[in-house]
Structure 1
Amino acid sequence: MADMGIKTKYGAAVVTIALITLIALILSLANHQTLNLPYSTQYGIVLDAGSTHTALFLYQWLGNKENETGIISQKLSCDVEGGGISSYDQNPPAAGESLKKCLDVAKAAIPEGQWKATPAYLGATAGMRLLGLQNQSLADRILEEVAKTIQSYPFDFRGARIIDDKEEGAFGWITINYLLESFVKHTFEGFWIHPKAGKIVGALDLGGASTQISFTPKDLVKDSNSTSNFTLYGYKYEVYTHSYLCYGMDQALKKLQAYLNKTAGASSAISHPCYPKGYIVNVTLAELYNSPCVEKPINFNPNDKVTFSGTGNSSLCLSSIENIINLTDCALSPDCGFNGVYQPPVNGEFFAFSSYFHIFSFLGLAPKAQLTQVLSTIETHCDKNWTTLTAENPSIDAKYLKDYCASAHYIMTILLKGYKFNNSWDQISFEKRVADVDIGWTLGYMLNLTNMIPSERPRAVTGVVHSQWAAQTFFIVFALFLSLLIIVILVFIT
């Protein structure tokens, strides 16, 4: 009877320990939690080869989160010295050489072990589009030279190409809304959700040779060719986007000079109402008509010079600018932007960046200002003479300072009379950055080419923390060992 009691007692102990082991095993399997696996930081490089200059952007993110959102940061940006790569038409190899300083900066910022895993892209915009219209083989040669330079670095080079106008607008739209977490948002509880109250923001980009508008229309679009369709994180978006080639800031100012020269007739002394009173500049006709955006006279001597003298006349400046933009021809009136281009009514909030921001920041009007304040500020600026302007802004180069009046009037013309923001001016914010990342097409371009925005909603990675798994495993093994030990003791006792 005593032996039977001992066996019963130890048998119960074995059963109890076995049950505890089983419960621990179940708990360890059930207690898997969502976690972020400890992957290393990854990097990506995009070179924005614009019409007036090139800029390098270095982005970084955690490797395990490349299909999520709101986690990419801009590690650095670097402005390439000199003009845009299209300006090297007389010396294509120099276009590649110009990139080396910024590529060296990026290389120094990336750990050596990550160099080969870092994708690098170069996208060229309207400046190279214009060069391609004039001389496609020359444009191709310049792209070959910049590609050769980037390939000489230990990065994962994935191509240098001219991005089309629709891509430029759409990628800017993606960049803004990605950074604002408008597509998908990470909650405090660790879930990815589509923000019900999330606002999709429109994009207004103004470069040197082209300008873009992109937004989600409220109503049915009449021209399906004007939209791009995206499926991002399980949701579909129809985005109206249009790029106006030849209507970037630099080309618009060149158009203005050509218009004033044409209206002046045979005179070589030309009044320029947008230049400050007292500012004078001489321009050769070769310089004036060196762009396909400007209509050339039938016969002209490229060596002849014209002299532009500033008169500082704000109202005449505005009317002159309106003469270089076609604001009347519209087959689908009133649904038009300018130059007869179809555009549905603007909808929602907009971020205006690039030259929009730089001009309005200089005038003290960024990120927002009442329309009446904007108009009066521009008027006051345009009335200042050259002596006053240079005294007030000693650090600003004359080649930029002379154009702020014309640039401001041009912006107001395309926004109010072109895109029709008359009744929704307060919906525009003039911004440079979102979440410490420069706004532009480059981030959206990289997100697209690296497939970092999935069409399906993101799924959580499941598992347990390594230390937690180790503790649970030790407990299970210990319980099993203890059970076996008791069984062995029972065997020897019996």
Structure 2
Amino acid sequence: MATPSLLLTLSVWLLAGSLLSEATYYRHHRYVPHFYRYREHSANTENLLPEVSNPVAEVSQPDVPTYPEIPEVFHPAPEVIHPVPEAFHPVPEVLHPAPEPYHPPEVFQPVPEASSPVNQSRVFYGIMFDAGSTGTRIHIYKFIQKDPVELPVLDNEMYHAVKPGLSAYKDNPEEGGNTIRQLLKIAKKTVPEDEWKRTPVVLKATAGLRLLPEDKAHSLLKEVREVFSESPFFMPNSSVSIMNGTNEGVLAWVTVNFLTGHLYSNTRKTVGILDLGGGSTQITFLPKSKKTVQSAPFSYIARFNLFNNTYQLYTHSYLGNGLYAARLATLGALGADGLDWKVFTSSCLPKKFREDVTFGGTTYKVSGIPDGYAGYKLCYYEVMKVIKGIVLQPYEVKGSSVFYAFSYYFDRAVESGLIDGSRGGAIEVRDFKKRAKEVCNKMTKYRAISPFLCMDMTYITCLLKEGFGFKDNTVLQLAKKVNNVETSWALGATFDYFRNLNIH
């Protein structure tokens, strides 16, 4: 009987040793529940996997043998590296809209509806009117906010224009207001109805109204305010105003450098802009030389903050040196009296040309010189009087910086055959001079295009060379649009409205 008792004692001892070994295994190899094993990273987890400090032991089933599981070796998901956007991004990013004090928060930072998904994209719009001297244009921008913590993107632009400009209605403001109503109809068709009350509408007038007597300009702006107040769109404070020339140049620079990708690249390499309107012309660029800043008049240097960078630009707007105003100045008609009977002549015009010309609501009698001479040299001498001593030459524009030129620079280059109107293109200053000579010496050939083409091309040549001081080989990139968005100050002005660039 001793032998069976010894065997029983030995069996109990071996069983206890087995259980002790298994318990030791589990202490050193914590079980990881299936839910916490390998999974993709997200922006919110920041590569941190949650731990379970006290896992609940599984309940073993009776009569079912249990075996210690071999722990899985799991690795965190590889971090997703997003490619750095190229300098020339096909879809430009737009400033995160920070509402100004007079903007209701719901316009730009709406609270998501309860039924909306957390990551649903938010679409919003901005309407900017450009009331220029020769026409009124509407720019309707659509923005998409894909993530609350990221910058929105500019999705597209709807653009339309009517002629003449508001200044032509200086004696009939109500009719000028009707042109705004006409453009607002386009806005109502473009912007979804449920976004109307949250979409700001802003009008900024430029040289056309700056050239008018103050009371005439005030009457036009008052009429526009009344039209805006009748519309279903959001009308912020100061939504109708005359923009000063400095802001016009700076905001055009912001638009072009934003669309070309220079503002959000780290190179600080930018392009200059040349804007030739009907009543005024602007030059704006980022100086590379301290001497440019030191030698410039104080009012020619503007500073503002954008993308956490402070920019100091050389910029100036020359009122009265836009293309149409310069035509009248060349003729000696701008500001003249006796318009009912005086005829203003120029050797820049075809000899047999005679016509009434209207600018800013005033009509002038204009003609060539029937018994005189016409041609490039005489024309150049005439337009020089409008530029010499008026337009200053910045210190460093004789360098090799690239300038974007648009508005009437682009239009006249297309009309004279310098560039293709559908694509634009890069030319040199000397190309304007060469084509101006051809046009002026063959006025009859080009008269069908425009009897003013010789005068306009000569004026542009003289403005670039004698005025701003560009070299013959300075490259001008002529463009009407960049990334399918109009090259004007309007987009920059929309940024200014959203962000308040604090230009000074």
Do both share a fold (TM > 0.5)?
yes
- Is 1:377 the counterpart of 2:435? The answer is yes
- The CA deviation string for residues 445-468 of structure 1, in whole angstroms up to 9 with x for no partner, is 00111018899xxxxxxxxxxxxx
Match of 1:217 among 266, 276, 287: 287
* Equivalent residue, structure 1, for 2:446: 389
Residue 446 in structure 1 maps to residue 494 in structure 2: yes
Q: Distance in 2 between matches of 1:368 and 1:70?
A: 31
TM-score, with length taken from structure 2: 0.70
Equivalent AA in structure 2 for residue 315 of structure 1: K
Instruction: Give the paired residue count.
Output: 402
Q: Does 2:481 align with 1:427?
A: no
Which amino acid is the alignment partner of residue 435 of structure 2? Answer: T
Q: Could you list the runs of 5+ residues in structure 2 that have no partner in the other structure?
A: 1-11, 49-79, 83-117, 420-424
**Corresponding position: 1:161 with 2:235:** no
CA contact (8 A) 2:300 2:316 kept: yes
Q: Deviations over 1:216-271 (max 9, x none)?
A: 11222124432111222222221011010111111110111227999xxxx96765
Code of the aligned partner of 2:434: S
Residue identity in the other structure for 2:202? Y
Seen in structure 2, the aligned counterparts of structure 1 residues 142 and 451 have a Cα distance that, compared at 3 Å, is: same
- Is the 1:312–1:384 Cα contact (8 Å) retained in structure 2? no
Residues in 2 aligned to 1:58 and 1:355: alpha-carbon distance in whole angstroms: 22
CA 1:151–1:6: 2 relative to 1, 3 Å: farther
What secondary structure does 1:365 align onto?
A: coil
1-side partners of 2:36 and 2:235: how far apart? 53
Residue 211 of structure 2 is aligned to residue 130 of structure 1: yes
Letter in 2 for 1:231: N
Change (3 A) 1:268 1:232: closer
Larger radius of gyration: 2
Q: Is the 8 A contact 1:59 1:75 kept in 2?
A: yes
1:323 to 360, 366, 385: 385
Partner of 2:408: 355
> Contact 1:282 / 1:308 at 8 angstroms: preserved in 2?
no
| CA distance in structure 2 between the partners assigned to 1:155 and 1:410 by the alignment | 42
SS of the residue corresponding to residue 126 of structure 2 reads strand
In the aligned structure 2, how far is the partner of 1:143 from the partner of 1:272?
35
> Deviations along 1:7-29, whole A, 9 cap, x unmatched?
968x959x855555555699673
* Aligned equivalents of 1:289, 1:93: Cα separation in 2: 16
| 2:188 paired with 1:107 | yes
Distance 1:376 1:254, change over 3 A: same
Q: From the superposition, tell whether residues 7 and 236 of structure 1 become closer, same or farther in structure 2 (CA, over 3 Å).
A: same
Q: Does 1:61 align with 2:143?
A: yes
* Aligned equivalents of 2:461, 2:305: Cα separation in 1: 34
1:362 shift after superposition: 1.4
Deviation at 1:151, TM superposition (A): 2.4
1:181-204 deviation digits (Å, cap 9, x = unpaired)? 1111xxxxxxxxx333x5211111
Identity of aligned residues (%): 28
For the aligned residue pairs, the C-alpha RMSD in angstroms reads 3.7
Q: Bigger shift: 403-412 or 145-154?
A: 145-154
Match of 1:151 in 2: 229
Q: Which has the higher contact order (CA 8 A, sep 6+)?
A: 1
Deviations 1:88-115 (A, max 9, x none): 1111121111112221112111222222
The answer (yes or no) to whether the contact 2:429–2:471 under 8 Å persists in 1 is: no
Give me the whole-angstrom Cα distance separating, in 2, the residues matched to 1:342 and 1:27. Answer: 57
* Alpha-carbon displacement from aligned partner over 1:411-458 (angstroms, at most 9, x marks no partner): 1111111101025x4332121111111101100000111018899xxx
The 1:68/1:119 distance shift into structure 2, 3 A limit, reads farther
- After superposition, where does 1:39-78 map in structure 2 within 5 Å? 39-64=121-146, 71-78=153-160
**Residue identity matched to 1:249:** L
SS in 2 for 1:413: helix
Mapped contact 2:168–2:361 kept (Cα < 8 A): no
Unaligned runs of 5+ in 1: 185-193, 292-301, 328-337, 456-494
